[in-house]
Amino acid sequence: MNARDPQTSDIAVTHAPMRQAVLSVNAGSSSLKFAVYPVGADEVGEAGLSGLAEGLEPGGQPSISVKSPGAASVKQALTLREGETPFDAALRAVIAAVEHDGGPRLLAVAHRVVHGGSHYAASVLIDDAVLAILDSLCPLAPLHQPANLTGVRAFRRARPDLPQVACFDTAFHATTPDVEQRFALPDSFNDEGVRRYGFHGLSYQYVSGVLARATPRAGGRMLLAHLGNGASLCAVREGRSIATTMGFSALDGLMMGTRSGAIDAGVLLHLMRAGWTAAAIEKLLYKQSGLLGVSGVSADMRTLRASTEAGAARAIALFTYRVVRECGALSACLGGVDVLGFTGGIGEHDVALRADVCAALGHLGVRIDAAANRCADGSTVAAIHAADSAVEVWVVPTDEGRVAARDAMALLHAGR
């Protein structure tokens, strides 16, 4: 395949001026998010071109949306070539859009990979041996890891000339102590890798870095909340993760869009005795629970806020309660809180959620400025704490792709 063949995509894009760049991708089971990050002499800049390919499941109707800086998003359907899968068609369109006339020279592809297990505490260049290890971790994240690796393999086939880098959601939490990682199970389970790993690490790494530059108090005790369709909290001390709400899988901890969050294992035993299969339980916990399951309306917090259904109010109240409850647990692990940070789709945009959580944390000395909170829309980093607050409160739009791009360039420089 000639990636610069104009026939590979009908989308006309305008690139921000950049000579060379890293492509960051996040491959899911039915979608592919991507963004292009310009590479300068000593820094990876903000994303230029970005987009989303959807409908990539077998038999799906694939489409791609591409957004150039300062322009509206452009969407089009994708036509499959003979023998081509929807995912391969999307990948072809992504590369064509990125390398459109005037586009940058790509230096690497940085892949968000959910699980590095106990093998990887930092990003790594992907070769056959690394890929085999990542394959072995698929049972630990059955709904995420295989999709991530499908993206890796597709890009390796399409552009074997480009270094491929795996950037792990688990890596940031490799610094958590043993007492945080262990379950109260026989020791042999821990030796086999059944332990708490934590996720959303790329987001927490980015937000921690932003806050370290924004306030000197970030060098102390930070409680970070990544709240979106996937949701978790992370306790950070001196820039290092010491505890987090997600554990062995991305199911644990907070209630999420369609995921249950923490649940008594006895409930699962009850369902098994009632004849539920593992596949049915997995679907229940990952796809039919959380905001969607409790509300019976939607997994989208914006839809729930606009709804008059009793189930919507119940789901919002439970989501808020779970956040507050786990904030209490992690603040105890930290021994107090100096900085509270909100990120993720809900954390960045839901004014009411931030206000309710902060009000409930008033016993920690948290006070917010109502006007500042209303103005914080996720478009930029914003401080929303009141002048008399004992805890600084910030809203930070996350950029996991930029962290991945930085890691990719660091690995390339190290290999020179």
pLDDT at 11: 54
Q: Can you give the length of the chain in residues?
A: 416
Q: What percent of the chain shows pLDDT beyond 70?
A: 95
Q: Which residues are annotated as a binding site?
A: 26, 33, 112, 226-230, 300-302, 345-349, 400
Domain range annotation of the chain: 20-168, 217-400
Phi-psi region of 143 (alpha: psi -120 to 50; beta: other; left: phi over 0): alpha
Mean pLDDT of 201-229: 98
Please check whether residue 131 is in contact with residue 111, taking contact to mean a CB–CB distance below 8 angstroms.
no
Residue type, 53: A
pLDDT of residue 99: 83
Least confident of 36-40, 86-90, 210-214, 314-318: 86-90
Binding residues for substrate: 112
Distance between CA atoms of 167 and 279, rounded to whole angstroms? 29
Q: Is 169 a catalytic residue?
A: yes
**DSSP E strand stretches across 103-261:** 105-113, 124-125, 164-168, 221-227, 231-237, 240-244
Tell me the torsion sign for CA atoms 142, 256, 28, 78.
positive
204 and 232 in contact (C-beta within 8 Å)?
Answer: no
* CATH tag for 217-400 (out of 3.40.50.300, 3.40.50.1220, 3.30.420.40, 3.60.20.10): 3.30.420.40
The answer to whether domain 20-168 and domain 217-400 are alike in fold is yes
Average the pLDDT over 86-115 and give the result: 89
The mean pLDDT value for 179-206 works out to 97
For domain 20-168, give the CATH number: 3.30.420.40
For residues 86-92, average pLDDT: 88
Could you tell me which residues are annotated as the binding site for ATP?
Answer: 33, 226-230, 300-302, 345-349
Strand-pair partners of 224: 234, 341
Q: At residue 19, does pLDDT exceed 90?
A: no
State the residue for tokens 């299969």: 277
Give the ranges where 246-309 is alpha helix by DSSP (H): 265-273, 278-287, 290-295, 301-306
Out of 169, 350, 356, 399, which one is annotated catalytic? 169
- pLDDT greater at residue 4 or residue 75: 75
pLDDT given at position 8: 38
Q: What is the pTM of this model?
A: 0.93
At residue 258's C-alpha, the angle toward residues 201 and 94, to 5°, is 60
Please report which helix (H) or strand (E) contains residue 131, including its range.
Answer: helix 128-136
Place of tokens 């006309």: 12
Tell me how far CA of residue 202 lies from CA of 22, 118, 357, 361, 406, in angstroms: 16, 17, 24, 26, 11
CA angle 228, 95, 163 (to 5 degrees): 85
Name which of 403, 404, 392 is nearest 223 in CA terms: 392
Q: Distance (Å, rounded) from C-alpha 128 to C-alpha 110?
A: 16
Based on DSSP, count helices (H) and strands (E) in the chain, helices before strands.
15, 14
Res 4: pLDDT: 33
Write down the pLDDT at residue 416.
58
Strands 392-395 and 339-343: parallel
Beta strands in 169-291 (DSSP E): 221-227, 231-237, 240-244
Tell me the per-residue pLDDT of 278-310, one tens digit each, with 9 for 90 and over: 999 999 999 999 999 999 999 999 999 999 999
Please check the confidence at residue 2 and state whether its pLDDT lies above 50. no
- Cα-based distances in Å from 369 to 18, 37, 364: 39, 34, 16
Closest CA to 158 of 37, 11, 4: 4
Binding residues for Mg(2+): 26, 400
Instruction: Give the model's confidence band at 9: pLDDT under 50 very low, under 70 low, under 90 confident, else very high.
Output: very low
Using CA atoms, how far apart are residues 294 and 153, in angstroms rounded to an integer? 37
CA distances 210 to 23, 142, 286, 341, Å, are 21, 32, 31, 11
Tell me the per-residue pLDDT of 126-162, one tens digit each, with 9 for 90 and over: 999 999 999 999 988 888 899 999 999 999 998 999 9
